[in-house]
Structure 1
Amino acid sequence: MKFDQFQFLLQNAFCESEGDGPPKVKYKDIPVERLHPLVLAYVGDAYFTLYVRTTLLSYEQNKVRVLHTLDSKIVSATMQAVAFQSLESGLTEQEMSIVKRGRNAKSTVPKSATVAEYRNSTGFEALLGYLYLGKNYERLSELVEKAFAVISREMTKTAKDSGGKK
């Protein structure tokens, strides 16, 4: 991260700029279609993580370490790529356009996923961010529920195939 960008954000994010500088632009003033795809992915990742964490709470598990370990696997690039591939054929043209923007955005790929998995997961997260910021909550809910079900099936299958071993 560039230090000057961090400093700028730190100085401007928590204050109202009235008279002392340029007017502060809020995300809601920018059409969601114009937001950078990595910004959409950032929001989409946060939304999906919160969805997964609150869904896991319904299983009455109170061990935070266990919850975190499981949610980390569910929201991983590898599992999101599996979910995306399952959902891809049901996406609209507009949704696929957002996914492609997210997939093509330049970012650093972590060692925990292949380039293809990471690109697909970034596209998936960008779509979730787009739907959230665009207030398309019904479609957002539909996609995250389906994604969670796909990932749950995949993780269960993998656990059975490996005999419950890592």
Structure 2
Amino acid sequence: MKFDQFQFLIDTAFGECIDDGPPQGKYKDIPVEQLHPLVLAYIGDAYFNLYVRTKLLSYEQNKVRVLHTFGSKVVSATMQAIAYKSLENELTDQEKSVARRGRNSKSTVPKSATVGEYRSSTGFEALLGYLYLGKNHERLSEIVEKAFTIIAREMTNTAKSNGENK
């Protein structure tokens, strides 16, 4: 990150906390439908990451490194793309539209995923961000629970076919 961008965030985000209480941010008055899809994906990524980490706590409480490594695989672009493709037919037209906007947003693709996987996962994250910021928590819970189950099945099947589960 460039120094001037970092300084801007310190001055605006932290400045509001110090001077006037909690930060309001520039997005507070924008309807969730009008937010940039990468903003929605940013929030959706954070939400799904927290959901997965919380879910994994019930299985392995002491080994933070194991939790982190495993959780990273669960929330990877590859796994999110698989979940999204499995859930796509269950989405409403509005949800598909939000995911499509996220999928079509220009962003840098990491080496850990294909372009298609990364675009699909960005669409999935944008959908989660849209539901979270739109306070549609019941639907959000439904989608992340189904996604987690799909990913768990996929990872289990992959481990079995690779002989890792012996």
Give the TM-score of the pair, scaled to structure 1: 0.90
Please tell me the residue identity of whatever aligns with 2:44.
Answer: G
Deviation, structure 1 residue 153: 0.1
Residue of structure 2 in register with 1:138 after alignment: 138
Please tell me the residue identity of whatever aligns with 2:162.
Answer: S
Please tell me the residue identity of whatever aligns with 2:122.
Answer: T
Residue of structure 1 in register with 2:55 after alignment: 55
Percent identity at matched positions?
Answer: 77
Deviating more after overlay: 127-136 vs 30-39: 30-39
Deviation, structure 1 residue 35: 1.1
Deviation, structure 1 residue 163: 0.2
Q: Quick one: structure 1 residues 6 and 84, their matched pair in 2 at CA, closer, same or farther if it must change by over 3 Å?
A: same
Question: What does 1:31-70 align with in structure 2 at a 5 Å threshold?
Answer: 31-70=31-70
In the aligned structure 1, how far is the partner of 2:16 from the partner of 2:113? 40
In the aligned structure 2, how far is the partner of 1:69 from the partner of 1:118? 19
Please tell me the residue identity of whatever aligns with 1:5.
Answer: Q
Point out where structure 1 has 5 or more consecutive residues left out of the alignment. 18-23
In the aligned structure 1, how far is the partner of 2:42 from the partner of 2:77? 13
Give RMSD over aligned pairs: 1.6
SS at match of 1:16: helix
Question: What does 1:87-102 align with in structure 2 at a 5 Å threshold?
Answer: 87-102=87-102
Pair 1:113 & 2:113 matched = yes
Deviation, structure 1 residue 59: 1.3
Say whether the 8 Å CA contact 2:44–2:127 is kept in structure 1.
yes
